[in-house]
Structure 1
Amino acid sequence: MDHPDESPACLGPASGWLTSGSSPLPLPALNDEEGPRLPEGLPPVVDAHVHLFPDGVFEAIWRWFDRYGWPIRYKLHTPQVVSFLLSRGVHRVVALHYAHKPGMARFLNAYVAEVARAEPRVLGLATVMPGEEGAADILAEAFAAGLKGVKLHCHVQCFAPDAPALHEVYEACARAGRPLVMHAGREPASPQYKCDVHALCSAERVERVLKDHPGLQLCIPHLGADEFDAYERLLERHDNLWLDTTMAVAGYFPIPVPRRLLEARPERILYGTDFPNLPYAWDRELKQLLALKLGDEVEAGLLGQNALQLFEGC
């Protein structure tokens, strides 16, 4: 199968977290210390944002990151990703992937479904290319194969959250009671994407989705970066919205930790990392979250129970 395009047209915004002025530069690696495993005494930890791809797709993604994003510290293929996290004490892994063009989704979904069948601690999600022929059937097949939800990526797949092509996907998820994880925040944005993600993505567009599809369980990664205040308001107004922390709390990007957002509705926040596509230690996000001392009950939900309730209903 084809791999992601490693030289996409430069149509993105002139500034963003992955740029310096108007010129894209790979961000630096952090040679921070990593722990051998999770600290003792923690509640069950679920990493709700882990990427699993076939080998060739992973390798193409890493080449892109090396050129345009950041150096990948953990260039591990799927079996090693799963083993790495579970052997270090992670209780469950939510496996995400995405199709960058029509015709990929069935293959990718079958791949992740097989991984999840072999290792029940992996909660696999499906994907689809919005607007592709038979999108609802592709998702129905994936759900029948045991996949727990859907992952979409506005930046890679080049769509706005409120685009008409998405309605079929939203309805399929709501009908099946499966949550949707959708990278619909504006950052991390890169001019190497094939679309201007700041023009496509906004909290306002996401709110239209939440209003038009009240039966949809929608999770926005990266705490909705970079519109933290807007997503705090959305959390307060909408009971069908969740956020995950991925890379927004790790202290890697030039932003303050949005603590007020974390505390607005902590039962709607999931811990996630973006492993293995990280430029820093695998447990950096966790350490930063624990350092906030949000309280035992909040930590138990954020680190694992909220994700189990969303993806397993328990």
Structure 2
Amino acid sequence: MPMPALADEEGLRLPVGLPPVVDAHVHLFPDRVFEAVWRWFDDYGWPIRYKLHTPEVVSFLLSRGVSRVVALHYAHRPGMARALNAYVAEVARAEPRVLGLATVLPGEEGAVSILEEAFALGLRGVKLHCHVQCFAPDAPELHEIYAACARAGRPLVMHAGREPSSPQYKCDTYALCGAERVERVLKDHPTLKLCIPHLGADEFDAYARLLERHDNLWLDTTMTVAGYFPVPLPRGALQVRPERVLYGTDFPNIPYAWDRELKTLLGLKLGDEVLAGVLGQNALRLYGE
């Protein structure tokens, strides 16, 4: 059954006096893909509060004071990635405050060429999703993708944590995903810049330890400090190496106010320098801005 929506109050814009805020985890898709994603969430995930198409997503966040948006997408079948990459590249060309990432389906024919073409279009990294695309992080077909990202100096954002999960995925996320598999990737590809969303949910402590050991790992906060899921606030990753943590929201595919996660971060009293890094500077450094 879907999880519930929250009727929490949303702010009209970011509070005055914040350092620049970069939302490092925003989804942008063509209209028909967005609508298919929303139908899936309505049936199996949670009610989407902001059913906005790409131009509205970008306008919503920027008009509320977000300074930059990192745009993510993913392909769930072969042959989709080139069109999706071209779409996001065009969005980023039209609005320079959008940092667009590419995608590819691991194992599809010409995967490396697809990424090289995407980088030539100006896309700034790659997004993969183990749950949707049904692969393990240390699967053999991933090595050419990791190598292509490392050669180009492009970060890879990979949903490789076991949660949030659903029995409606076409694969067992607990069988595919695990911190130990990600550590193999970090060791095998030491020049790859790898970012794991959701602070590695649900293995928060394991990912905090990985963050201590590996200089090529980053985490983002997406949906894990909003108090939506019934888990304790994962403070460990925020404290171990806060310079490797990025603020992200999953906007627009969220069931609560757009600024809920931000309010929680502000309430943690992280200190001015740490807060400035988490809210924006860490993301800008990762993406070479």
Q: What is the TM-score of this pair, normalised by structure 2?
A: 1.00
CA–CA distance in structure 1, aligned partners of residues 23 and 239 of structure 2: 19
By how many angstroms is 1:260 displaced?
2.0
Question: 2:69: which partner in 1?
Answer: 93
The answer to whether 1:68 aligns with 2:68 is: no
Letter aligned with residue 272 of structure 2: D
Question: 1:28: which partner in 2?
Answer: 4
Spell out the pairing of 1:79-228 with structure 2 (5 A cutoff): 79-228=55-204
CA–CA distance in structure 2, aligned partners of residues 80 and 160 of structure 1: 34
Calculate the aligned-residue CA RMSD, in Å.
Answer: 0.4
By how many angstroms is 1:209 displaced?
0.1
CA–CA distance in structure 2, aligned partners of residues 104 and 130 of structure 1: 12
Greater than 2 Å deviation, 4+ residue runs: none
Q: What is the TM-score of this pair, normalised by structure 1?
A: 0.92
Q: Decide which of 258, 270, 273 is 2:234's aligned counterpart.
A: 258
CA–CA distance in structure 2, aligned partners of residues 258 and 51 of structure 1: 23
How big is each residue's C-alpha offset from its partner over 1:122-142, in whole Å with a ceiling of 9 and x where there is no partner? 000000000001100000000
Helix, strand or coil: the match of 1:72? Answer: coil
Q: Percent identity?
A: 85
The answer to whether 1:240 aligns with 2:216 is: yes
Instruction: Tell me, yes or no, if the aligned pair for 2:249 and 2:261 is still in contact at 8 Å.
Output: yes
CA–CA distance in structure 1, aligned partners of residues 34 and 181 of structure 2: 30
The answer to whether 1:280 aligns with 2:256 is: yes
Question: 2:266: which partner in 1?
Answer: 290
Helix, strand or coil: the match of 1:58? Answer: helix
Helix, strand or coil: the match of 1:34? Answer: coil
By how many angstroms is 1:259 displaced?
1.0
How big is each residue's C-alpha offset from its partner over 1:277-313, in whole Å with a ceiling of 9 and x where there is no partner? 01000000000111001100000000000000001x2
Helix, strand or coil: the match of 1:48? Answer: strand
Helix, strand or coil: the match of 1:214? Answer: coil
Question: 1:53: which partner in 2?
Answer: 29
CA–CA distance in structure 2, aligned partners of residues 284 and 182 of structure 1: 23
CA–CA distance in structure 1, aligned partners of residues 239 and 282 of structure 2: 14
By how many angstroms is 1:257 displaced?
0.7
How big is each residue's C-alpha offset from its partner over 1:134-154, in whole Å with a ceiling of 9 and x where there is no partner? 100000000000000000000
CA–CA distance in structure 2, aligned partners of residues 129 and 194 of structure 1: 15
By how many angstroms is 1:261 displaced?
1.6
CA–CA distance in structure 1, aligned partners of residues 125 and 115 of structure 2: 9
By how many angstroms is 1:83 displaced?
0.1
CA–CA distance in structure 1, aligned partners of residues 111 and 42 of structure 2: 32
Question: 1:11: which partner in 2?
Answer: none
**Structure 2 portions without partners, runs of 5+:** none
By how many angstroms is 1:77 displaced?
0.1
CA–CA distance in structure 2, aligned partners of residues 232 and 65 of structure 1: 29
Letter aligned with residue 207 of structure 1: E
> In the comparison of the two structures, how many residue pairs are matched?
289
CA–CA distance in structure 2, aligned partners of residues 295 and 95 of structure 1: 28
Letter aligned with residue 104 of structure 2: V
